[in-house]
Structure 1
């Protein structure tokens, strides 16, 4: 088997030209060792809206913060009532063409870091996925730290709230939804079955830090990669942007495929503004 040459790049900085073609991305991915960093934009084609894109949910929704959840019983009641409804949509979501394309590209990848909490990378067949912000498919007790399946909690909440019939068509990336206050009032929140403590989805809320060991694992993936491929993330928050900055500082090619501008554009080697599902499917077809 012929060894592919190693590509070297110089990050162009703020004067980066835009590209609308995947042709320049192909040789970077084809050489292998590519680390994927994905964001909410990758899951929009699965029916889960992003936070900051066109029509993003942050325009009309304030996500639950860690401080409110941990200090306010009323805040926890409101969150679990709304999340109980939203979880049904998240649980029914299926991987889209973009997720399947990433899974197909696995032989060329050094791993996947996702900022998403929906589990769709794994459902599409990707292995070695680091969930930077956790996953909605499980809950953790803030007292005894025991993890349990979200499906089990869903059954318990249904039993505790047999007359709760709220519905909504508006879902957020964190599984939260908007419900009128009268539908939230009276919702019964259940405690940890092990110790009676407070249950929280095993996700990183706004204002909460990503666990340091997880951050270090992601840094290690960046340090051992040949290139970084950012998919569907605006990189607005530092939790994802720090890996782009680290890759760029090390001289790695940084490729961003996203609809609209991102905070990481000044660090990018290539910037592609195309729909994720179609472009990633085409990329996988060209590379494999």
Structure 2
């Protein structure tokens, strides 16, 4: 940890990439275990959601139950430390793979939501955008049996209630055109919007180095940041409770609590 902090204090502008491990201490579970292996039932893919009504019923049943927890989750020590580091100027931009919005709720200002957010929904037909929270009232009033359920919370705000019959689940439609409403998150099987990737790549170009926090980097959307940094001959610091895809090209890796390490960086004098 001290080696990592010395390196972190040697540069003035870091791009920080965060993954599910950052929100784990807020009670939001991760998709993968410490070895980067999948540990949950597969989520509804983009193709399934768009093309199959039954898949949308399954998704909204899970989301109805999981939203209650996700909306009440609170930022933790890692989120708060990143706010402080941004204020000191050493974090130039924060790119997150998470969709929970906890970085913004903690107070981070310059954030790129690489995979989108689950606290808004949009119509895939007319592009009408709505906040997710008021939709909960409609879902619960039209699906009282599902509203009574509780289930294990998933990283994307869903809950594990897949063993139920979803055929009676009422799904919300667009109030403007009757089209399909979808959370503004990048589902599995979909691609990160090109402009968002370009914006993130520019931030990497402008930074002095890359800090990865709480991500196994198994998904290429995160791993490519390490490839960019390596190609640009910039240092890579990885803070993660487990192995990652980029350990071999990292300058320093630190295993441990994201919150503890980030708080240690925030509290360390320059040149520690």
1:77-116 equivalences in 2 (<5 Å): 77-106=57-86, 107-116=89-98
Aligned equivalent of 1:244: 226
Matched, 1:201 2:183: yes
Aligned equivalent of 2:204: 222
Aligned equivalent of 1:123: 105
Distance 1:195-1:54 versus aligned 2 partners, 3 A rule: same
2:16 and 2:269 mapped to 1: Cα distance? 15
- Contact 2:223–2:245 (8 Å) recurs in 1: yes
1:261 and 1:65 mapped to 2: Cα distance? 26
Structure 1: runs of 5 or more not aligned: 1-20
SS of equivalent to 2:54 = helix
Matched, 1:33 2:13: yes
CA-to-aligned-CA distance 1:74-132 (integer Å, 9 cap, x gap): 00011001111111111010001011011110021110000000111111111110000
Structure 2: runs of 5 or more not aligned: none
- Contact 1:241–1:263 (8 Å) recurs in 2: yes
**Residue 160 of structure 1: how far off its partner (Å):** 2.0
SS of equivalent to 2:137 = helix
Scaled by the length of structure 1, what TM-score is found? 0.88
Scaled by the length of structure 2, what TM-score is found? 0.93
- Contact 1:22–1:279 (8 Å) recurs in 2: no
- Contact 2:64–2:147 (8 Å) recurs in 1: no
1:253 and 1:234 mapped to 2: Cα distance? 18
Matched, 1:67 2:36: no
Aligned equivalent of 2:240: 258
**Residue 175 of structure 1: how far off its partner (Å):** 1.2
Matched, 1:279 2:271: no
- Count matched residues: 268
Distance 1:138-1:265 versus aligned 2 partners, 3 A rule: same
SS of equivalent to 1:157 = helix
RMSD between superposed Cα atoms in Å? 1.8
Aligned equivalent of 1:154: 136
Aligned equivalent of 1:49: 29
Distance 1:228-1:32 versus aligned 2 partners, 3 A rule: same
**Residue 270 of structure 1: how far off its partner (Å):** 0.7
